[in-house]
Amino acid sequence: MSIELRDVSKRFGPVAAVDRVSFKVDDGELVALLGPSGGGKTTVLRMIAGLEDPTAGDILVRGERVNDVPVQRRNIGFVFQGYALFKTMSVADNIAFGLKIKKWPAGDRAARVEELLRLFGLEGLGRRFPHQLSGGQRQRVAIARALAPRPSVLLLDEPFGAVDAKIRQELRDWLVRMHDELSVTTVFVTHDQEEAMEVASRIVIFSRGRLEQVGRPRVVYEEPANEFVARFIGVLNVLELRVEGGVARLDELTFPAHGVPEGQGLRIGFRPYAVQVSRNPREHRYRATLRHVYFLGVLMRLELETPSGLVVRSRITKDEFTRLGLAEGDVVSFQVREYRVLARDGEPLGPEVSAMHHAGTLGEGI
């Protein structure tokens, strides 16, 4: 079922935890609410569930206003961060809890519990108590319990926060598969942008109670609506430059001034993958020392330090790293292929600009 928020605000005393937020989740979508902690995303999720009343604005499920519908009758499945399993009940009783309330006949109930145990890889664990399960299993019991009464919407609060890295990856894949199979409208909260990018079909980004951008993962990554989104999604090198003599400059790094008047400040950002590194100290425009190499798996993160002490992060593949034959302490050259002028929060950003032709005009040997 579709969910829609219209100008929803939530105040706790003088603090606006959520400030005039509007967005829509279509039927069957898998959407992430993403933002730093305290950004208001959990409050939004709780308002959709009916665990929190909005101070202003409307919440619609399937086009109908549900503000006054109590949580018990909203027919949502909610998965809590700490799972919130009923510890005095067995796994099977946990899953059957919602079914008993909805007065399913005993036979249907048992069949549904069996079905969910199978679907969630929990066969044979029905008689266990929650404390006898691993973290990942508890998580799945919590989701199974929420899904048992066939809710119209599944809401998950930081579903992968409390498990270790390996299980987290499994759970992510599993959530995507489960969503594909059941196609129930799903909204989950996360502060991990990687998780949101990987799992969600669309991302709703919050900061300080405000909605910053809604879009597909690729869109928010490539076309961030503002500086906050650009900095929050992925890694970004950010430089504060000043316009002098027609170019924006910070120590030895220069960028075109883009019509910014002389003497004014300009903030630009560029992704680490846009930093091209060469072992030949003369190949690219800027010279730097390779201070540290971080091994990230397939990717390597390089920390470059210019003679004036600026630190620039670069990301290259392991293969390229090997091909270049780099080592810590090497003197290298680098250039910035693509960058973005970061406007102030709320202002739209220009598209990413290719810096290659500028490099050419400045007389570097390409």
Partner 1 sequence: MKARRAQNQHGRGARARRVLPGFGLTLGVTLGYLGVLVLLPLGALFLKASGMSWAEFTQAATNERALASYRVTFGSAWLAAGINAVMGTWMAWVLVRYRFPGRRLLDALVDFPFALPTAVGGLTLANLFASKGWLGRWLEPMGLKVAYAPAGIVVALVFIGLPFVVRSLQPVLEDIDREVEEAAATLGAGRLRTFAQVIFPVLLPSILTGFSLALARAIGEYGSVIFIAPKGSEIASQLIWYRLEEYDYAGAMAIAVVMLAASFVLLAGVNMAERWASRFQR
Residues that bind partner 1 (CB under 8 A): 49-51, 71-74, 76-78, 80-82, 84-89, 97-98, 101-102, 129, 131, 145-146, 149
Closest CB to partner 1 among residues 110, 324: 110
Q: Which is nearer to partner 1, 93 or 338 (CB)?
A: 93
Q: How far is the CB of 143 from partner 1 (least distance, A)?
A: 12
Half-sphere exposure of 59 (CA within 13 A, CB side): 25
Residues near 289 by beta carbon (within 8 Å), at least 6 away in sequence: 304, 305, 329, 330, 331, 332
Rounded-to-integer distance, Cα 347 and Cα 349, Å: 6
In the complex, least distance from residue 52 CB atom to partner 1, rounded to whole angstroms: 10
Residue 83 or 228 with smaller CB distance to partner 1: 83
Given the complex with partner 1, which of 125 and 260 has the nearer CB atom?
Answer: 125
Is the Cβ of residue 151 or residue 234 nearer to partner 1 in the bound state? 151
Tell me whether residue 68 or residue 261 sits nearer to partner 1 (CB atom): 68
Q: How far is CA 334 from CA 192, 272, 277, in A?
A: 30, 11, 4
Q: Minimal CA–CA distance to 142: which of 81, 75, 189, 99?
A: 81
Burial of residue 72 (CB within 10 Å: 0-12, 13-18, 19+) is exposed
Residue 258, by phi and psi: left (phi above 0), alpha (psi -120 to 50) or beta? left
Which of residues 80 and 273 has its CB atom nearest to partner 1 in the complex? 80
Q: Closest separation between CB of residue 170 and partner 1, Å?
A: 23
Q: How far is the CB of 240 from partner 1 (least distance, A)?
A: 43
The interaxial angle of helices 135-147 and 106-119, nearest 10 deg, is 140
CA-to-CA separations, 299 to 62, 314, 315, in angstroms, rounded: 43, 10, 7
Number of alpha carbons in the 13 Å side-chain half-sphere of residue 302: 33
Q: How far is the CB of 76 from partner 1 (least distance, A)?
A: 6
Residue 88 vs 361, nearer CB to partner 1: 88
Q: How far is the CB of 22 from partner 1 (least distance, A)?
A: 24
Minimum Å gap between C-beta 1 and partner 1 is: 15
Minimum Å gap between C-beta 138 and partner 1 is 13
Taking the complex as a whole, how short is the minimal distance between the CB of residue 110 and partner 1, in angstroms? 17
Q: Rounded to 5 degrees, what are φ and ψ at 180?
A: -60, -40
Sign of the alpha-carbon torsion through 267, 270, 276, 279: positive
**Cβ closer to partner 1: 17 or 241?**
17
Task: Round the CA-based radius of gyration of the chain to a whole number and report it.
Answer: 25
